[in-house]
Structure 1
């Protein structure tokens, strides 16, 4: 199942990026307002290099982009990739809703008394 040319490798990178609480927090912050890597690093009890690595994972996943501004690099959230992921999850939800209805129909058939 592919949504807008969003392949398995793309989905794997995005979900890997979102699998960590710090990375989810970074995405949330930079979706609200672009921030430098330095500003982000001040918010976490970890080294600047560790935050850079988190940002690199998010960038490979397409969840954020970096843009140089003078000596700093601004990190911005990418809402387009989140919309694509939301559509992918919605397609899975439709499959499961269909399956749940099918199971309900089967169970309802079992509940009806047999006529002889």
Structure 2
């Protein structure tokens, strides 16, 4: 059996819940959220670690906004608009956090809720 057939057989044997796109997205949100929590968990965390965690969160939300802006996106238009609006909030609030004028709690809470919604939507 060649490599493509082997790969197909291996992926075909996976539990459907493990390869569901919503579940994969939820796992990404969870990973980024854990990194944010860890970066802000203690007062002695480095500014570089905090900036890195915020940057990764911004990148995630930029990708989400781009996906929502795509005309081929199957989500309802009002949900797409809401997610794009959240991405804008994440961008603005991240800048405020970087300046030391706010904490990351709203970003963490938003990510948790989105991950939870994606998990509930997974088949």
Instruction: Output the TM-score relative to the length of structure 2.
Output: 0.32
Higher relative contact order (CA 8 A, sep 6+): 2
Bigger strand share: 1
Bigger helix share: 2
